[in-house]
Structure 1
Amino acid sequence: MGADREGGARRRPVRAAAYAVCGVVLLAGCASMPDNGDLRDVESTPRQDTQVRVFAMPPQQDASATEIVQGFLEALTSDDPHFDTARKYLTTAAAKTWRPESRATVLANGPSIQTTGRPTDQDDADSITYLLQGSRVATVDAEQAYAPSDGAYRKTVHLTKDGKSRQWRIDSLPQGVVMGKSDFQRNYTSVDKYYFASDTSTGETGQPVAVADPVFVRSRVDPTTQLVRSLLNGPTTWLGPVVRSSFPTGTALKKGVSGLTPDDQNQLTVPLNVKASRIGAAKCTEMATQLLFTLRNLTPTVDSVALQSVGGARMCDVDEEQAGNTAWRASDKRPEYLYLLDGKHRLVRMATGGTGTSAVAVPGPFGAGTRPLRSVAVSRDERTAAGVTSDGRSLYVSSLTSDGSLGDAVLTSHGASADDRLTAPSWDARGDLWVADRDPGKPQLYMLAQGVGQPLAVQIPELNGRIQDVRVAADGARIALVVEKDGKQSLLVGRIERTKSDDQQEVSVLELRSATPGSEEVTAMSWAGDSRLVVVGREQGGVQQTRYVQVDGSTPDGAAPAALTGVLAIAASEDDRVPLVADSQDDGIVRLPSGDQWQKVVKDGSAPVYPG
């Protein structure tokens, strides 16, 4: 539980002592509580520099019940590693049973406090109850996984006076912590930890495919050690069924290890317990690769990771190059070309590394214009393309070589109009092709293994609406869907599960969750990182905007892309060094170099895509 500075209630200033040399700020309760029972918000800690550690003040002698509640809420927003100061506001019994790590509830503003059933003179009573209220935004569970949430938050906190000391203490409270959105953003940061897709390898190299699993860690409470522990504990429940970890079951940090930091050579040594002592060289390299991918996401200056046995011996180490040779990760793969359709609906391309505006036709039938196209997708190895014809009816697949042939359509829709037929296709790193048929009479998501053969109908038991757009993640373990229902579109992310029954493969998309809670319209979207998407859309009553979202529904740190009007389509790469590209109603094909403004590329073009 915690506090937030937003809200219009009357307040008095924070009582704090700042020690600049030590980089420490001490907090005390910061909002007054009138005796008439009116609602009052608890003000948050002022934003501090990220290098400043924030610690709460313990309860003052003879503090009122109101001050105890306020001080406790403030203590929850501090950088106290184990919430030891917060426990001082509790009775001995309550301190033993309270589990702050079990859940964090995020409110739009800090929790409002109201007394319930209070006698006229609270200081003459031996017990009192306070009601904490607010509007929920999200929760973070014991696995550190984020989930959007809404509705009212109403929990009670009960206090008693100690029979001997006559000091107020909290003896009953909800498990976990609660705080306002701004305090959450100050105290927590989102980081990807990495596992490998189960039974999956890239068609190009046969390497295991890395899958990002976003979690939130406390940003100034030894985040490196927190993140390593989270990785070793295994994937989140949502992702778990489709990924594996190379760490043996029960692997943990060596007892007593904390404060993990890289040495002066930017190598981080991770001491492990006995469970990891009997592994082979290949498995050890995969373990170190998982750690390096994960830690570089938090601390980019980490150049290598070494694993150390319980006895202190070095087991193995990997640097960035070795990790890249061990596992395939989308964000490490810079695409060679940007692809789009020219004014004659032919597939053309331009190099991603240049600043030019000229595009050339791709080799093969798609570049020759054998069939005018409406949308395209290029495989991750950039050797094969899939295209939907301009009427939306037929899907073709062809190699990007001069001797490539078009052949017959691999899928045909019978929808009445182009907008009721096939969506744009999408490839994963396995080489599988995904597309949805929007025919109202037979809506269906399909997967074509290696882009050929009989289209396989994908089961989506939780789907409530009609798919309008499809983008499969490079890892083949997750898929993003724009789903329309009652005139509104939402962006949902699902988990892809593959099973075999009687030698027949079955594919399902399960546990759909919203990546854009509150959105009313989603015009376009694209993967823009291992766990991030870029989305064009608007919220209810709002205007069209382009923004980044995480697959778990949280908003990533950093600025949104520069504003652009009339966006029809958007293309991004998982490699953030590659510029965003969009199809604008007003300006044609435009791109957004890092830290710059949108620039015109091609006036007469459409459907820009990067491989994927």
Structure 2
Amino acid sequence: MAADRERGATRRGAGRTVAYAACGAVLLAGCASMPDSGDLRGVESTPRQETQVRVFAMPPHEDASSSEIVSGFLEALTSDDPDYEIARKYLTKEASDKWQPLLSTTVLADGPGADVERVGGREETDNLSYTLTGTKVALVDAQQSYAPAGGDYSEPMHLIRDKKTKQWRIDIPPRGVVMGKSDFQRNYMSVDKYYFATNTTLGTSPHTAAVADPVYVRRNVDPMTQMVRSLLTGPTSWLNPVVRSSFPTGTALRKGVTALTPDDQNRLTVQLNDKAARVGLTQCKEMAAQLLFTLQNLTPTVDEVELRSDGRQLCSLTEESAEAVAARGSVERADYLYFLNAEHRLVRLPAATSDTEPDPVPGALGDGDVQLKSVAVSRDEDMAAGVGLDGKNLYVGALVSGGPLGEPELSSAGPTAEQRLSAPSWDAQGDLWVADRNPGNPRLLLLEEGVGEPMVVKTPPGLEGRIESVKVAADGVRIALVVKQGEKSSLLIGRIERSQDGKAEEPSSVSVHELRSATPELEEVSAMSWAGDSRLVVVGREKGGVQNMRYVQVDGSTPEGPAPAALSGVKEITASEDARLPLVGYSEDGIVRLPSGAQWQKVVTDGAAPVYPG
């Protein structure tokens, strides 16, 4: 963690590894060389380390120079000090009292540079002003919500030298915490916390949908307790309008509870304050389900949650019982993989097998006369929708033997097949979504239960470009849209809101709000699919780059783990929210699939438009 002498200097990764070994698992600021004086040009961002490596900073030593104070403070921000107590030792008492490190975390492409403003030609006076600089990558707010960011970072920082002790201290620190991207990746991890969808039911199922709300927590600072506190605080502001929490307002950990650890039976006991003391059994089990879903996303070592308040047990819930409380897309396994054969009819294969001999689906979409270009199958796998080969008409039919296929439910007047209907998508309620790409009248449409008069979905007024493709998440409250503007296309995630007129259970209007980019680094997105509760798989390319495949988070961050194996000439991609099912693509080799831990395998040569239900 030495200071950069020059911005953009070559990283000394090998030297750092030796330094880590020399210092053991605990890293000390003293292990890195510090300039005794002069202009501090930057603080190098630490290369990413294994998760078991813990980083601790050292407090300022006696008679530390101003540049050492700046460097030591910035290093302390990247350490695993739970309450930033070491970082505070670099501040004056007044500054420490006012500084709020949890207010935000600014992520820069590299570690922050620090430029001193010299006064009267002297390098050191009793007052020194620094400017922290860099290129912004992202911002994590006080709710721990990640958002991509861009542009220059410039933040003032001021030091004074105490008249009595003659020690330098920072009296004006930067807002929140600032660090380089590699330090952020080492320090933080993304975890989904779970709430319940409102105004959404899962078709004919009585289950409510569990909705993932990704946040970033410090990975080596008791992440389990951090996640429980975050869950109790409530959903992030972006998701809040469409979800609810079963925890009563004001619920928190009981006073005095500072750390949570499961016992040797993998049971976690959570002591809550008296706000939760009077909840009924049904509500308590929903609360426990939220905790179980959240903690299992963090670690597999929690099998059961027990909630207590006011000295008594409220309820307990096991992993098996939690699935009866609410449904998650990531555990709802599809029965079949569907795609179009050489005759443009709908066929299917058992999803969890290595079979390569598909069967026609029962009903007119499998053995009828209509040739299809794209398809979607409802999540209960009872219905299917298909767009005709010319892109003009949308057909909907039941997947039952002898099921008829009536007139098209929707037609587009676009001049070409590529300017007509997109591939459709079914949501959790059994409603069907499709984009009409007609340049003269572009619209996002919804057909309730797949039939009837299409409803025009309201989109944000500032949406620029034309919607090219649509995928609704299994939770029914988030939607992924590929939007094209000129030669560029991007993947945007929106929040689905349904309003009711108060006279009937059916929604009177549906709208999409607060679209945000999930692929800020890509110039072109050619295919995408949901691949988890808060993850998507995307095919695209960066500016000046070549086509590649990657996973992205709904908040625009990059999930941990490897990208999918390379596949050339990808035209379409599909994934299940259930990670146990293989990724499936349509490429120049036909329909191919990627089983876990294996390479791409050919399914059929003469197929197209692969989809899992949804």
Q: Residue type matched to 1:517 in 2?
A: P
Give the match for residue 581 of structure 2. Answer: 578
Task: State how far apart, in whole Å, the 1-side matches of 2:132 and 2:290 are.
Answer: 41
Does the CA contact (< 8 Å) of 2:46 and 2:182 recur in 1? no
Give the match for residue 257 of structure 1. Answer: 257
Give the match for residue 206 of structure 2. Answer: 206
Percent identity for Structure 1 against Structure 2: 61
Give the match for residue 552 of structure 1. Answer: 555
Task: State how far apart, in whole Å, the 2-side matches of 1:309 and 1:188 are.
Answer: 31
Give the match for residue 531 of structure 2. Answer: 528
Give the match for residue 280 of structure 1. Answer: 280
TM-aligned CA deviation for residue 519 of structure 1: 1.1
Q: Return closer, same or farther for 1:94/1:75 CA change in 2, 3 Å cut-off.
A: same
Task: State how far apart, in whole Å, the 2-side matches of 1:195 and 1:155 are.
Answer: 36
TM-aligned CA deviation for residue 278 of structure 1: 0.6
Does the CA contact (< 8 Å) of 1:4 and 1:180 recur in 2? no
CA offset digits 1:313-371 (Å, max 9, x no partner): 21111111111111011101111100000000000000012112110000000000321
Q: Return closer, same or farther for 1:293/1:495 CA change in 2, 3 Å cut-off.
A: same
Q: Secondary structure at the match of 1:66?
A: helix
Q: Is the aligned partner of 1:401 residue 2:400?
A: yes
Give the match for residue 374 of structure 1. Answer: 373
Farther-moved stretch of structure 1 (501-510 vs 552-561): 501-510
Q: Return closer, same or farther for 1:463/1:31 CA change in 2, 3 Å cut-off.
A: farther
Task: State how far apart, in whole Å, the 2-side matches of 1:203 and 1:611 are.
Answer: 14
Does the CA contact (< 8 Å) of 1:144 and 1:217 recur in 2? yes
Give the match for residue 25 of structure 1. Answer: 27
TM-aligned CA deviation for residue 17 of structure 1: 8.2
Does the CA contact (< 8 Å) of 2:113 and 2:132 recur in 1? yes
Task: State how far apart, in whole Å, the 1-side matches of 2:373 and 2:12 are.
Answer: 59
Give the match for residue 222 of structure 1. Answer: 222
Q: How many residues align?
A: 607
Task: State how far apart, in whole Å, the 1-side matches of 2:456 and 2:215 are.
Answer: 32
Give the match for residue 521 of structure 2. Answer: 518
- Unaligned 5+ runs, structure 1: none
Does the CA contact (< 8 Å) of 1:29 and 1:74 recur in 2? no
Q: Residue type matched to 2:377 in 1?
A: V
Give the match for residue 484 of structure 1. Answer: 484
Task: State how far apart, in whole Å, the 2-side matches of 1:563 and 1:19 are.
Answer: 38
Farther-moved stretch of structure 1 (67-76 vs 192-201): 192-201
CA offset digits 1:62-88 (Å, max 9, x no partner): 000000000000000001000000000
Task: State how far apart, in whole Å, the 1-side matches of 2:158 and 2:340 are.
Answer: 65
CA offset digits 1:402-430 (Å, max 9, x no partner): 03111121111010110010000001111
Q: Secondary structure at the match of 1:589?
A: strand
Give the match for residue 317 of structure 1. Answer: 316
Structure 2 counterpart of 1:506, from 499, 504, 509 = 509
Task: State how far apart, in whole Å, the 2-side matches of 1:575 and 1:34 are.
Answer: 55
Does the CA contact (< 8 Å) of 1:2 and 1:75 recur in 2? no
Task: State how far apart, in whole Å, the 2-side matches of 1:310 and 1:457 are.
Answer: 51
Does the CA contact (< 8 Å) of 2:37 and 2:66 recur in 1? no
Does the CA contact (< 8 Å) of 1:2 and 1:73 recur in 2? no
Q: Secondary structure at the match of 2:241?
A: helix
Q: Secondary structure at the match of 2:571?
A: strand
CA RMSD in angstroms comes to: 2.1
Task: State how far apart, in whole Å, the 2-side matches of 1:206 and 1:453 are.
Answer: 24
Give the match for residue 609 of structure 1. Answer: 611
Give the match for residue 335 of structure 2. Answer: 336
Give the match for residue 72 of structure 1. Answer: 73
Q: How does 1:28-177 map to 2 (within 5 A)?
A: 28=30, 30=32, 32=34, 37=39, 40-45=41-46, 47-123=48-124, 125-177=125-177
Does the CA contact (< 8 Å) of 1:284 and 1:316 recur in 2? yes
Does the CA contact (< 8 Å) of 2:584 and 2:594 recur in 1? yes
CA offset digits 1:433-462 (Å, max 9, x no partner): 110000000000011111122111001123
TM-aligned CA deviation for residue 34 of structure 1: 8.4
Does the CA contact (< 8 Å) of 2:248 and 2:276 recur in 1? yes
TM-aligned CA deviation for residue 190 of structure 1: 0.2
Q: Secondary structure at the match of 1:415?
A: coil
Q: Return closer, same or farther for 1:17/1:420 CA change in 2, 3 Å cut-off.
A: closer
Q: Return closer, same or farther for 1:244/1:553 CA change in 2, 3 Å cut-off.
A: same
Task: State how far apart, in whole Å, the 2-side matches of 1:513 and 1:49 are.
Answer: 31
Give the match for residue 245 of structure 1. Answer: 245
Q: Return closer, same or farther for 1:143/1:2 CA change in 2, 3 Å cut-off.
A: farther
- Unaligned 5+ runs, structure 2: none
- Normalization by structure 2: what TM-score? 0.95
Q: Secondary structure at the match of 2:423?
A: coil
Farther-moved stretch of structure 1 (198-207 vs 166-175): 198-207
Q: Return closer, same or farther for 1:378/1:10 CA change in 2, 3 Å cut-off.
A: closer
TM-aligned CA deviation for residue 18 of structure 1: 7.1
- Normalization by structure 1: what TM-score? 0.96
TM-aligned CA deviation for residue 549 of structure 1: 0.1
Q: Secondary structure at the match of 1:611?
A: coil
Give the match for residue 456 of structure 2. Answer: 457
Task: State how far apart, in whole Å, the 1-side matches of 2:3 and 2:217 are.
Answer: 18
